């Protein structure tokens, strides 16, 4: 079996480092504070938080986890949240009673294919009101009063902005700040959006949580991890080449595992020493394997968005300068701003201070190849 995992979150032996971060999360929440944790996509936020949740559970705190990525309406938010709370209820009758008391919502139990009961809800009217949402937001505090303290983890918290027209952000803030037995951990991957939500004075969540920004994993630990995992199949890699591999994927934890998995797959049982060529070939092979997906993703983009991506394969600094705009034929600053906003929103690029960069190093390579092919065909 491939010793590298990128399909699911990192757990058990697959998880390394992050001891300090785990401790900070656990201490903050045990201490009764709320926290916001952010990092670009694929840095290991969910894995880290699952580890912290394990420790919190061991200390007697009940952790409710919900991922806001699939939320698209107040109704879907209500259902997801109630299902997450249901999974942690300790008194079935009392929980059903609390849900039945919500206006316009009826609990509904069904059975899955294995006969396991599943909790869902039905709406008496098609729309659920913000007042009902407010009552749902109070449930963790009510549940916690039964004895155990509760921590609610909201993953991909930036998605809450999809419901901004209902004032959900402000409503949520006003409810949670009054709660004493429930604490909150917010996770976000679109760093610029999360930063704006928690650090802008005019936003409801301003200053409402202790901030933790996680970075990439330390190089030393990553080198040891890759080297020992490859060694289990008799594959050797020098320290310099390990560094090269890590740099090739910009040190992003998910892509480190993905590229290492590809290298293992390519070499296992046949080759014993990793070379630079093998790393480069495997890198290109991943781009090739993902090319249908990348093609569709690129095809949907406007001409300006494509030009901007091509420009970003070269540099992500000073992108609004006249020089940059002229060099990459990016028309004007205001249309460029719109193109940047779309690419940020789609999670294709990220912003760090004033620098813009691809989230996915393999997609960056795809765009680089795409631009080279286009240039070649224009020359012919």
Ligand X SMILES: Nc1ncnc2c1ncn2[C@@H]1O[C@H](COP(=O)(O)OP(=O)(O)OP(=O)(O)O)[C@@H](O)[C@H]1O
Among 3, 44, 188, 361, binds ligand X (CB under 6 A): 44
**What distance in Å separates the CA atoms of residue 144 and residue 89, rounded to the nearest whole number?**
10
User: Are the CB atoms for 336 and 319 separated by under 8 Å?
Assistant: yes
CB of residue 335 vs ligand X: minimum separation in angstroms? 29
- Span near ligand X by CB under 6 A; candidates 44-52, 99-107, 108-116, 292-300: 44-52
Q: Which is nearer to ligand X, 175 or 188 (CB)?
A: 188
Among 22, 28, 34, 47, binds ligand X (CB under 6 A): 47
Tokens coding 258: 């993905």
Report the sign of the C-alpha dihedral through residues 314, 318, 319, 322, in that order. Answer: negative
Q: Which residue has the tokens 């795809």?
A: 366
Contact flag: residue 28 with ligand X (CB under 6 A)? no
CB of residue 221 vs ligand X: minimum separation in angstroms? 8
Q: Please report, in angstroms and rounded to a whole number, the separation of the first and last CA atoms in the chain.
A: 47
Helix axes 276-289, 239-248, angle to 10 degrees: 20
Residue 104's alpha-carbon distances to 89, 166, 175, in angstroms, are 21, 17, 20
Contact flag: residue 45 with ligand X (CB under 6 A)? yes
Contact flag: residue 46 with Mg ion (CB under 5 A)? yes
- Site size with ligand X, rule: CB under 6 A: 21
**What distance in Å separates the CA atoms of residue 256 and residue 245, rounded to the nearest whole number?**
8
Contact flag: residue 43 with ligand X (CB under 6 A)? yes
- Span near ligand X by CB under 6 A; candidates 36-44, 119-127, 309-317, 337-345: 36-44
- Span near ligand X by CB under 6 A; candidates 41-49, 72-80, 87-95, 239-247: 41-49
- Span near ligand X by CB under 6 A; candidates 6-14, 52-60, 132-140, 318-326: 6-14
Among 22, 89, 191, 257, binds ligand X (CB under 6 A): 257
Provide the strand spans (E) within the chain: 35-38, 62-67, 105-111, 117-123, 150-155, 182-188, 210-213, 349-352, 355-358
Q: Which is nearer to Mg ion, 50 or 166 (CB)?
A: 50
Contact flag: residue 89 with Mg ion (CB under 5 A)? no
Tokens coding 103: 């206006």
Which chain residues interact with Mg ion by CB under 5 A? Answer: 46
Residues in the site for ligand X, rule: CB under 6 A? 5-6, 9-10, 14-18, 41-47, 189, 217, 253-254, 257
């Amino acid at each position: 079996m491939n010793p590298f995992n990128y399909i699911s979150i990192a757990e058990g032996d697959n998880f390394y480092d992050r001891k300090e971060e785990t401790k900070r999360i656990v201490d903050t929440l045990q201490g009764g504070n709320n926290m916001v944790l952010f990092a670009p996509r694929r840095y290991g936020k969910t894995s880290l938080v699952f580890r912290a949740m394990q420790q919190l559970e061991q200390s007697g705190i009940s952790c409710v986890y919900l991922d806001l990525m699939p939320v698209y309406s107040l109704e879907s938010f209500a259902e997801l949240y109630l299902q997450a709370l249901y999974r942690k209820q300790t008194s079935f009758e009392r929980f059903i009673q609390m849900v039945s008391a919500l206006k316009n919502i009826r609990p509904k139990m069904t059975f899955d294919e294995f006969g396991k009961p599943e909790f869902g809800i039905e709406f008496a009217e098609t729309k659920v009101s913000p007042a009902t949402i407010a009552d749902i937001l109070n449930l963790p505090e009510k549940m916690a009063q039964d004895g155990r303290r509760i921590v609610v983890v909201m993953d991909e918290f930036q998605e809450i902005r999809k419901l901004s027209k209902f004032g959900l952000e402000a409503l949520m803030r006003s409810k949670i700040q009054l709660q004493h037995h429930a604490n909150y951990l917010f996770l976000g991957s679109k760093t610029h959006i999360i930063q704006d939500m928690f650090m802008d004075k005019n936003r409801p969540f301003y200053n409402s949580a202790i901030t933790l920004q996680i970075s990439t994993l330390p190089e030393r630990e990553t080198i040891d991890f890759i080297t020992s995992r490859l060694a289990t199949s008799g594959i050797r890699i020098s320290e310099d080449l390990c560094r090269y591999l890590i740099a090739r994927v910009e040190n992003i934890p998910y892509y480190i595992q993905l590229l290492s998995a590809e290298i293992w797959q390519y070499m296992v049982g046949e080759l014993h020493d990793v070379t630079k060529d093998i790393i480069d070939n495997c890198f290109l092979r991943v781009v090739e394997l993902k090319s249908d997906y990348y093609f569709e993703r690129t095809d949907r983009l406007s001409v300006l968005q494509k030009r901007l991506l091509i420009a970003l394969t070269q540099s992500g600094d000073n992108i609004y300068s006249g020089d940059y705009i002229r060099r990459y034929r990016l028309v004007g600053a205001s249309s460029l701003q719109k193109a940047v906003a779309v690419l940020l929103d789609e999670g294709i690029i990220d912003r760090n201070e004033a620098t813009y960069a691809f989230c996915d190093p393999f997609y960056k390579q795809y765009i680089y190849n795409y631009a080279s092919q286009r240039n070649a065909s224009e020359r012919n």
